[in-house]
Structure 1
Amino acid sequence: MDRDQMRASESDRQVVMERLREAVEEGRLDVLEYQERVDAAMQAKVYSELDVLLSDLQQLPPPGFAESGLEPTAVMPAAPLSKVNQQLRDSAEAGSQKWKIVGVSAAIAVVLALILIAINPQIILYIAIGVLVILVLFVVAAVAGLF
């Protein structure tokens, strides 16, 4: 079977859309053309439909590049993270985990509060009075110069 008639996968469409995004950043496409081509890429069924979307966006070397005999530089492999950067990444992941725990705890507290309110609706009044008392204590402490 000819490649042009083979069905394209979702990852093939994503690759084409990424190249179209790069073309917009390079100034090769305007936003309207980009949107039209992205829509066409999403509707494409076979490779030939995707190839048409990129056919006029092929990368050419800059003028005079071929005559100079220069070769493009090699892409350097990613270096491993330093200890400091690895510690920062690990602490960020740990911080993210802490926020998940806080979120789950808050959700449990809300569910328990709703159950208590369903059982005894007057508890809302007691909670409101408690919050007001705490606020008054904060105001008194602020006026007294404790903060």
Structure 2
Amino acid sequence: MDRDQMRASESDRQVVMERLREAVEEGRLDVAEYQERVDAAMQAKVYSELDILLSDLQKLPPPGFSAAGLEPTAVMPGAPLSKVNQQLRDSAGEGSRKWKVVGVSVAIAVALALILIAINPEIFLYIAIGVLVILVLFVVAAVSGLF
């Protein structure tokens, strides 16, 4: 299918409206024409309808510059990530997952220890020995490269 006939998304319309806003700031459009084009952008269904709104607003080099040295005038920003996708990307680090498992394990162990101490205070000695054993196991696992 030809790009001109493909349906435009809301983010495509937002990019066009941002470019129209820049054109007003540059003095290329007056406010009335800007409002007409924004209304047309909001109603646009396909890319060709959006392209028409920007066709006469292309940035050109100043007079006297050769066309060979032209570079793109602006990089189109990517669509921003949703909050969920951003959280997934932030927490995707392999190291953070390992430390989350360790933190949850320690929290469960502490909760169980507090419950047992409340029930039988003499069990504190056994808990202290168990914690030392767990710490030794963590050190061995760290030295051997398991995490």
With the length of structure 2 as denominator, give the TM-score of the two structures: 0.46
